[in-house]
Amino acid sequence: MNAKILVLPGDGIGPEVIAKSVAVLEKVAAKFGHNFSFEEALMGGIAIDKTGNPLPEETLRQAEQTDAILLGAVGGPKWDNPTAPVRPEQGLLGIRRHFGLFANLRPVKVYPVLAEHAPLRRELLEGVDMLFVRELTGGIYFGSRQEQGDGDSAYDTMLYSTDEVKRVADVAFRAAQGRRKKVTSIDKANVLAAMRLWRRTVVEVHEDYSDVALEHLLVDAATMHLLTRPSSFDVIVAGNMFGDILSDEASVLAGSLGMLPSASLRSDTFGLYEPIHGSAPDIAGQGKANPTGTILSAALLLRYSLQLEDEAQAVEQAVEQTLADGARTADIAPKSGSYISTDEFADTVLSHI
């Protein structure tokens, strides 16, 4: 297979971890007889510094000519001013809107060898393997917003249409058919009109998936159940804001934000792949970053955009073997134990592919 991939290293530790992900894809290409080409472009804080725009037009033009996008991380204290007219996060929202990336998939899996690093008791973590399907281009993040008068009040509108809910619910139910056949839909239907529409629409979509069980949870109850019965979840579908918050909460089950990948997809095979962690500028350039989330994001790229399931599994198994070997970056090492660098961890993964 020939494939063209756009690489957006971004800010902070982004360039460090993205380089390891590219190395993994190059190893996969060599091992399985594919030809992957890579181009780099600017997005985030570095793009603001160089062009004044967190998502330059040239980056969009390059992206339109590729099969998938691999992103490191954006943002940092240098640009961390919520009142600034231009912010790195605007690049993320812009690229999601431009390409219609409406479904964000965030798998959360607990590796038994890392259970000791999670804040929950080991027995609560047994069998935890869930998939968040977060709606990504609607809701309060994309609704109308305004500060009133001299800034004494402001509003952001949570807006959803039935079509927006239907398409992301379809993604969730189809994913559940290939897993444990259960979908949990998160809403706040007891308070919010947009969430009552959400629930009604999910119920309607469920009629086409009689083989999948459906449960509804209010978002406040969901936050509790994620910590008291996490293994009971299979696929979780949620709106933009609730999905963002809950998937970050669930990340602690895996022991570190650095462990988790994500895929942002539209209705065809094009997608954007990134770890769920931020740019971590406090450890940038120190070789302490955990590349696992970015490497597993490359596995998702292989699975969803390139339709290469065997290759995706090879990467995931290499990560699992690396952890089984005892390799640990700083964030998942015992407090009194030793750890290895970003480069050393990635090299071990490469050796197992």
Residues with catalytic function: 141, 188, 220, 244, 248
Cα-based distances in Å from 286 to 17, 28, 270, 334, 346? 12, 27, 33, 19, 15
Q: How far apart are CA 288 and CA 341, in angstroms?
A: 6
Q: Identify residue 160 by its one-letter amino acid code.
A: Y
- Rg from Cα positions in the chain: 20
Query: What's the CA dihedral at 324, 326, 329, 333 to 10 degrees?
Result: 110
CA angle 19, 21, 25 (to 5 degrees): 115
Helix (H) or strand (E) holding 224: helix 219-228
Dist. CA 111–CA 312, nearest whole Å = 18
Residue 79: φ, ψ to 5°: -115, 15
The DSSP symbol for 126 reads T
Q: How many Å apart are CA 65 and CA 233, to the nearest integer?
A: 38
Check residue 129 and report its DSSP letter. Answer: E
CA-wise closest residue to 105 among 307, 263, 278, 316: 263
Helix, strand, coil tally for the chain in percent (to 5) = 50, 20, 35
Q: At what angle do helices 240-251 and 219-228 cross, to 10 degrees?
A: 20
Q: Kindly state the greatest CA–CA separation across the chain.
A: 61
- State how far the Cα of 225 lies from the Cα of 219, in Å rounded to an integer: 10
Q: What is the helix (H) or strand (E) element at residue 6, kind and residue range?
A: strand 2-10
